[in-house]
Structure 1
Amino acid sequence: MEKLIDIEDRIPALRRKRKRRMTFTFSILLFLFFTALLLVLYLQSSISKIQQITVEGTYIVDEQQLLDASSLEIGQSLWSFRASVIEDLLVESPGIEQAEISRKRWSEVVITVSEYQPVAFRQTDDSLLLLENGEEMSAQFAGSLFGPALQNFDNKEVEQKLISELGKLTQQTRLLISEIASTPSASDPNLVTLYMNDGNTVIVSALDFSEKLSFYPSVLQQIPVGEKGIVDMEVGTFFESYSSIYGGEGEEVELDEQQENE
C-alpha cells in the first residue's frame, strides 16, 4: 500500500522552493537592471568617447590626410562607427593598400595601414612619387629617397610596364639608378636608358627590366676597375667603356649575367 503524504507536510518544502525561485528571478532582474544602468552611465561618460587617435604604418602618406578620410574625431563615441566601413574609406586614399581599425585601451582608436611601395619620382617634380601600382601621388619627402627619376614617356604603356618592373626590384637595386629615359629603337619600342649613380649607362628593355637589373651587381664585378661605360643588356650583356667610345681605344666586352657574386 502506497504511503500517503499529508499536504500540510509538503507546504514548507513548497514554500522554500517558491522562495528560491523568487530569489533567483529577483537576482536576475537586479543584475539586468544594474547592467543596463552601468551601460547607460558608460555611454554618457567621457570614457566611452574617443580620446586619442593613433596612426601607424605611414611613411609617405600624410597622417592628417588619413584622419580626414576616416572622419573620426576626438570626442566622438567609440561605438558610433563600423571599423569595416572606415577601412573601406581609407583604402580609397592614394597610396594606401590595406587599412585596419582597432579600439584599444578603452578610449583609443588605432589606424594601421600598409602603403604601396614608391618606386620612382617625376623628374619634373621630385615630390610626385610613382607607386608600384601605377598611381601617382604627392609626398613631403624627396623622391630620390625611394628610387630613380623618370623622364617624360611618350608611350604611357611602356611607362606603366617600367613602373611595374621597378616594383619587383629590391630598394637597394632601385637606388643604384639615378635617372631613366625612354629611348625606343626601330626594333624595340620598349627600350629605356638608365643613368646609374656609379657613372655607368645601362640600356635595357622595359619588358624584362627587373630580371636584367637583378644581374647588375654581378655584372659590375666583371668590369675593369676604374672603367665606366655603357652596359647594353638588350640582347645578352655587353660593356663598352666611355674611353673606347669617345677615344677610339678598347673594344666591346661580352659579360656573363649569371656570374656569382664574390
Structure 2
Amino acid sequence: MSKKNIVSIEDRIPKLKQARKKKANRRLIFYLSIFFFLISIIVYLQSPLSHIKTIQVHGNTHVSNETIIEQSGLTMDTNIWMLNQKNTEDALSKNPIIESVKVSKQLPWTVNIQVNEYKIVGYMKEETNYFPILGNGVTLKQLGQSSFNGKSPLIIGFTEEKYLHRMAEELNKLPQNISALISEVHWQPSDDNKNKILLYMNDGYLVDATIRDFADKMEVYPSIVAQLEPKSKGIIHLGVGVYFESYEKKSASDEEEIDGVEEENTTE
C-alpha cells in the first residue's frame, strides 16, 4: 500500500487530538496548583501569619498571667504549628503552685492555657502578716496580707518543713464542709509522737489528733459531734480509740467512749 494512502487517526479525528491536549493541560494545571500550594504553605509557615497572636490563661488565682506565659516559653514569635503542647505543660508543671495544666490550640492564632492551682488550706502568721499555705505545703510568701478571711485555718507552731507539708496534704484531702469547721491547727510534737496536733474548732470543741491519716479520721467528725450533748464542750480524742473528754469532767471514768479507729503512735 502506498504511504500516500496512510492517514493518521488524529488527522481523521481532530477532536481526539484536541481532547488529549486538554487532558495534558489539565494535568499541568493540577501539578502547578500543587506546586504553588506547597510554596504557599512554606511561605505561610515562615511568615508572621503563622505566629501566635493571643495567649489566654484560665483558672489561675495565685500566679499572674504574665508569669504563666513567661514560664510557658511561648512568645508572639512562636509558630502555632510548631507548638509542642506536652513540653509546654511540663514546663508549667514545674511551678509549685500549679497542680495541673492543659495547653490547647485554638486556630488560627490562639493558645489556651487552663491552669488548676493547689487550693489554700491554711494561713501561717509571721509577725504582722498572714501567708497562704497551699495543699502541697508551699507557703506563698509573695501574697502576705495583714488579715485573713477565716475560711481556712491558722496553722501554728510548725517549725519543721516536712511536718508542715504533711499537714497541708492532709488538709487538702478534707471536704470543704469539714475544713471550714477548723479554726486553728497547732503542732504539738512529743518525744514518742512528732505527728501530734491539736485543733481548735469553730463550734467550740478541741480535737486531739495526729497528722497521720488525719483527713480520713476527720471525715467522721460531724457524726461524732452528733452523738454528743448539744451543750457539752470538751476534747474529742482521735488517737488510740475515739473518745470525748468534757471540760467539766476530770476523772477518766467520766470520759465518753465513741466508736472510732485506732492509731499507732510514731515519731515519723
TM-score if structure 1 supplies the norm length? 0.78
C-alpha deviation, 1:79, in angstroms:
4.3
The answer on 1:188 being equivalent to 2:190 is: no
What amino acid is aligned across from residue 52 of structure 1 in structure 2?
T
Q: Tell me the number of residue pairs that the alignment of Structure 1 and Structure 2 aligns.
A: 248
Structure 1: any 5+ residue segments left out of the alignment? 1-5
The answer as to whether partners of 1:61 and 1:95 remain within 8 angstroms in 2 is yes
C-alpha deviation, 1:131, in angstroms:
2.4
Match of 1:32 among 32, 35, 50: 35
Q: Which residue of 1 aligns with 2:86?
A: 84
CA change 1:119–1:74 in 2 (3 A) is: same
RMSD across aligned positions (CA): 3.2
TM-score if structure 2 supplies the norm length? 0.76
C-alpha deviation, 1:189, in angstroms:
2.6
CA change 1:34–1:187 in 2 (3 A) is: closer
- Alpha-carbon distance in 1 for matches of 2:22, 2:105: 44
C-alpha deviation, 1:34, in angstroms:
4.9
Structure 2: any 5+ residue segments left out of the alignment? 1-5, 262-268
C-alpha deviation, 1:66, in angstroms:
0.7
Q: Which residue of 2 aligns with 1:229?
A: 234
Q: Which residue of 2 aligns with 1:127?
A: 131
The answer as to whether partners of 1:60 and 1:141 remain within 8 angstroms in 2 is no
Which digits, 9 at most, give the CA deviation of each residue in 1:48-70, with x for residues without a partner? Answer: 44333211122333322212212
What amino acid is aligned across from residue 254 of structure 2 in structure 1?
E
Match of 2:152 among 125, 147, 153: 147
C-alpha deviation, 1:76, in angstroms:
5.7
The answer as to whether partners of 1:148 and 1:179 remain within 8 angstroms in 2 is yes
The answer on 1:175 being equivalent to 2:168 is: no
The answer as to whether partners of 1:129 and 1:139 remain within 8 angstroms in 2 is no
- Alpha-carbon distance in 1 for matches of 2:7, 2:174: 91
CA change 1:23–1:136 in 2 (3 A) is: same
Which digits, 9 at most, give the CA deviation of each residue in 1:80-127, with x for residues without a partner? Answer: 643333222211122112222222152222111222333233233433
| Matched position secondary structure for 2:116 | strand
- Alpha-carbon distance in 2 for matches of 1:208, 1:140: 29
C-alpha deviation, 1:230, in angstroms:
1.0
C-alpha deviation, 1:144, in angstroms:
5.3
Match of 1:21 among 21, 24, 27: 24
Q: Which residue of 2 aligns with 1:115?
A: 117
CA change 1:105–1:26 in 2 (3 A) is: closer
The answer as to whether partners of 1:151 and 1:179 remain within 8 angstroms in 2 is yes
CA change 1:254–1:183 in 2 (3 A) is: same
What amino acid is aligned across from residue 60 of structure 1 in structure 2?
H
Match of 2:74 among 60, 72, 91: 72
